[in-house]
Structure 1
Amino acid sequence: MTKPESAGDGYDVVISGASLAGSAAAILLARRGARVALLERRSDPEAYKVLCTHSLTANAYPVLAELGLVPALEQAGAVLNRARWHTRWGWIEPRPEPGGPELPYAYNVRRSTLDPLIRSRAAETPGVDLLLGHQVTGLVQEAGRTVGVRASTPGGERELRARLVVGADGKDSAVAKYAGVPTRQDRNGRFSYFAHFRGLPLPGGVARAWFLEPDMAYAFPNDDGVTVLAVLPEKKWLPAFREDLEGSFLAFVRALPEAPPIDSAERVSKIIGMVDYPLHNRRPTAPGLALIGDAALTSDPLWGVGCGWALQSAQWLAEAVAPAATGRGDLDRSLAAYARRHRRLLGHHRLATDHAKAGPFNPLQRLMFAAAARDAAMARHMHLYASRLIGPLRFLNPVALARASAVNLRHRGAGPGGR
């Protein structure tokens, strides 16, 4: 339940940040018997994250189902996140195999819809105290372990102790900073601006992304008939782009292949920018502490993986540590298990980091993207990877590489890009 102040300050878990990762972790841990304090620095229960792709990749669907959010999302108008990707070899258009099941999916949904929904579910979960207006100002540590937090609250300073402290407080995580967790930071060679539009039809209602090597763009249909449209040019264009932000944004979109009809659409938000968005990677655990969501791993926003990884990491943490967090196991061993599972995201992140350098496709990318534009089976394989349902090793396995090579050999010299 939501409480401005709790009767007691002894918890099994204290979570800093009541957005996607924090709210999901609170629900899943409480259902497994933990008493959870869920701290949110903002006082408004309807608060939401603005800088986001508003897309939940298919790897998040099992977490949404476990949380019981699928019916509510569909009732709220969330859009299945099917997609097409433009490349110099043509469009990649993943479709189900004839007679086979539909492709895995999740949803595109605005964070103004999603964040209050999942936060309210956390507040309603027995065992969760949602503490609004609580900002972590430091950690309580004993004998090299984190054993609680200090927080600024509407009623003054407060200390909350717990077996486990969880940082779900985003890419600039205060919890990680106070714990001294080192951060690896990689430069992003692109900047981005996005805005929300109403009356911007996309063929078949299907999301689109443009790989222009090195520039990027995407258009994601969302709930309430709103489409999120983003442009991600190479950083060297930023000074000129800023001189006439609206004109530059519109010109970029108009020049896209098969561009969406932006001039007939109504812009219903500001044009919002992320001019410097480095990629962060932190070790996800320390004694008595875990990081989830962007606090642990902030990857390139153009792939739309942040929401899905936030939910997945929350689920992995709950599965690994719930018994130990309630005093029924070894917490350090449980945190080590979570860290091992979280490492499976690093392969995806490394490839994203390479692409964020804003250069042309490397040889493997050329091979796979060209084949996916030319072959239905390779397009489905690309869909599984883009949905984060398979990792780089499966995506680039010898059978897939051999098939891609054979597909491209049949098309040698044909069409734009040839090979």
Structure 2
Amino acid sequence: MPADPAVVDTDCCVVGGGPAGMMVGLLLARAGVRVVVLEKHGDFLRDFRGDTVHPSTLQAMADLGLLEAFLALPHTKVSALSAQIGDETIHLADFHGLKTAAPFIALMPQWDFLDFLADAARRYPTFDLRMNARAEAVVEHDGRVAGVRVATPDGPLEVRARLVIAADGRRSVLRDAAGLPVEDLGAPMDVLWMRLSRKPTDDPEAPLGRASAGRMFVTIPREGYYQCGYVAAKGTFDAIRSAGMEAFRHEVAQAAPMLADRVEELRSFDDVHLLTVTVDRLTRWSLPGLLCIGDAAHAMSPVGGVGINLAVQDAVAAANILHDAFGLDDAALDERARAVQRRRLPPTRAMQSLQLLIQDRLVGAALSGRALKAPAAMRLFERFPRLRRIPARVLGLGFRLERVRSPDAFSG
């Protein structure tokens, strides 16, 4: 007979220790809510995750009084974004004019970001982070989600909670278990991520996207190397791999000529990591006792690097709405959970619509092999530099900036 699971009782169980899960866990614990965060891995060391920390997230750190300490971590500051389309270089966004605590993008490994949030959250006695804890199923009682069944190295665990927040990503176990309906918005591409060395004295210090007939490539500067993304037509990775590494090195050299002298660093396809791009969103983010946020509620395209920042904005909004709801009855708590979707769906829909437009007009055109020219609207950014503030505002702060309103129950 299998052993009975150990049981933990809490106010809120957060499934997933990514940006959304760690931020909402920190904010709710800070407000005095008992929170258990479950992370299925033993650490946060996964490469080729989103590493672009935008001004909206930096503003949240400032609201928490953590910005100075956060920026003491190794990072690269990016104050402008450009793209090379065909033979033209277009300066797209200038963040200098943003009226925010940190008007720039901080490029930082996501594991450093998550470790920082975890350390900040551990200062609160109401926070409990469980690593190597894989959520496997929801617990239901009287028609509502009442907790989560968890596999741990020490045996089965049952976390009972008044609210379960699913922040377990685009392949969310909990959203699938709950049967929440998903609207697939489509994506024409996948991304092959890799590392290539960077020459700090000669190579550009800012991210750069390149689009030409049949190819798209992104370079993101990191300490000592570039995180590179080769954009491939959806579902073609098997064919690329079958063609062999030498052919792929040639493709990379054609897509990014400045890196042609470094493609031999790609020794095999073990050095290439496939991101299967999905763009979708739930039509309903919650059930009684359950709320989905971040990628579990809406998987974003990598276009613009906004994914982790939209997830953090969900977390901030969720904490603002929910922090004082755990003293209310179940019906009132569930209504607050529904209010999170009402708050966050419009900016999510707007950002995904913009990403889909770029995918259709630029990514799809590039991958089709057609000759590319910069759209007329983009050329306006070259003629009128002040217009670069518009994409900076959209990419940097999103369509609705969430400020931290939840209290610190332990201050003073």
- Please confirm whether the aligned pair reaches a TM-score higher than 0.5, indicating the same fold: yes
| Corresponding residue for residue 124 of structure 2 | 125
| Corresponding residue for residue 85 of structure 2 | 87
The alignment's TM-score, normalised by the length of structure 2, stands at 0.81
2:287, 2:75 → 1: CA distance?
A: 37
1:213 positional shift: 6.6
1:309, 1:22 → 2: CA distance?
A: 12
Residue type of the partner of 1:60?
A: T
Counterpart selection for 2:54 from 54, 57, 69:
57
1:7 positional shift: 9.7
Do structure 1's residue 360 and structure 2's residue 371 form an aligned pair? Answer: no
1:289 positional shift: 1.1
Equivalent position SS for 1:23:
helix
Does the 8 Å contact 1:197/1:229 carry over to 2?
yes
Does the 8 Å contact 1:214/1:359 carry over to 2?
no
1:216, 1:239 → 2: CA distance?
A: 18
59-68 vs 295-304, greater mean Cα deviation: 59-68
Q: 1:102 to 1:335 in 2, by over 3 A?
A: closer
1:103, 1:247 → 2: CA distance?
A: 43
Q: 1:103 to 1:26 in 2, by over 3 A?
A: closer
1:215 positional shift: 3.9
| Corresponding residue for residue 312 of structure 1 | 313
Do structure 1's residue 274 and structure 2's residue 277 form an aligned pair? Answer: no
| Corresponding residue for residue 21 of structure 1 | 20
Percent of aligned pairs with the same residue?
Answer: 22
1:135, 1:300 → 2: CA distance?
A: 26
Q: 1:286 to 1:227 in 2, by over 3 A?
A: same
CA RMSD of aligned residues (A): 3.2
1:313 positional shift: 0.9
Q: What are the residue-to-residue correspondences of 1:70-85 with 2, within 5 Å? A: 70-82=67-79, 83-85=81-83
15-24 vs 247-256, greater mean Cα deviation: 247-256
Equivalent position SS for 1:252:
helix
2:237, 2:204 → 1: CA distance?
A: 33
TM-superposition CA deviations, 1:129-158 (whole Å, max 9, x none): 111222212112223321211112223222
| Corresponding residue for residue 299 of structure 1 | 300
1:105 positional shift: 1.8
Does the 8 Å contact 1:167/1:290 carry over to 2?
yes
Q: What are the residue-to-residue correspondences of 1:78-157 with 2, within 5 Å? A: 78-82=75-79, 83-88=81-86, 89-95=88-94, 104-157=103-156
TM-superposition CA deviations, 1:313-367 (whole Å, max 9, x none): 1111111111112448921221122111111211111232344454239xxx934
TM-superposition CA deviations, 1:278-307 (whole Å, max 9, x none): 222113222211112111111112321111
Equivalent position SS for 1:159:
strand
Q: 1:22 to 1:102 in 2, by over 3 A?
A: closer
1:265, 1:347 → 2: CA distance?
A: 38
Q: 1:118 to 1:266 in 2, by over 3 A?
A: farther
1:294, 1:37 → 2: CA distance?
A: 19
Q: What are the residue-to-residue correspondences of 1:212-223 with 2, within 5 Å? A: 212=212, 215-222=215-222
Does the 8 Å contact 1:87/1:210 carry over to 2?
yes
Q: 1:207 to 1:53 in 2, by over 3 A?
A: same
| Corresponding residue for residue 396 of structure 2 | 387
Does the 8 Å contact 1:58/1:104 carry over to 2?
yes
TM-superposition CA deviations, 1:100-121 (whole Å, max 9, x none): 9998223111123323332333
Does the 8 Å contact 1:199/1:266 carry over to 2?
no
Does the 8 Å contact 2:149/2:159 carry over to 1?
yes
Q: 1:114 to 1:101 in 2, by over 3 A?
A: closer
Residue type of the partner of 1:198?
A: S
Do structure 1's residue 260 and structure 2's residue 258 form an aligned pair? Answer: yes
**What runs of 5+ residues in structure 2 fail to find an aligned partner?**
367-373, 401-412
Equivalent position SS for 2:339:
helix
| Corresponding residue for residue 231 of structure 2 | 232
Q: 1:67 to 1:172 in 2, by over 3 A?
A: farther
Residue type of the partner of 1:163?
A: R
TM-superposition CA deviations, 1:196-243 (whole Å, max 9, x none): 233344755111112447742211123x33321111033476455323
Q: 1:245 to 1:170 in 2, by over 3 A?
A: farther
89-98 vs 7-16, greater mean Cα deviation: 89-98
2:199, 2:83 → 1: CA distance?
A: 18
Residue type of the partner of 1:26?
A: G
1:57 positional shift: 2.4
Residue type of the partner of 2:76?
A: V
| Corresponding residue for residue 386 of structure 2 | 377
TM-superposition CA deviations, 1:231-288 (whole Å, max 9, x none): 103347645532355434443343347x434525895995333263222211322221
| Corresponding residue for residue 337 of structure 1 | 339
Does the 8 Å contact 2:166/2:296 carry over to 1?
yes
Residue type of the partner of 2:180?
A: V
TM-superposition CA deviations, 1:69-98 (whole Å, max 9, x none): 433442221112332122345322534679
The alignment's TM-score, normalised by the length of structure 1, stands at 0.79
Q: 1:381 to 1:142 in 2, by over 3 A?
A: same
| Corresponding residue for residue 159 of structure 2 | 160
1:196, 1:138 → 2: CA distance?
A: 36
Residue type of the partner of 1:171?
A: R
Does the 8 Å contact 1:96/1:103 carry over to 2?
no
| Corresponding residue for residue 415 of structure 1 | none
| Corresponding residue for residue 394 of structure 1 | none
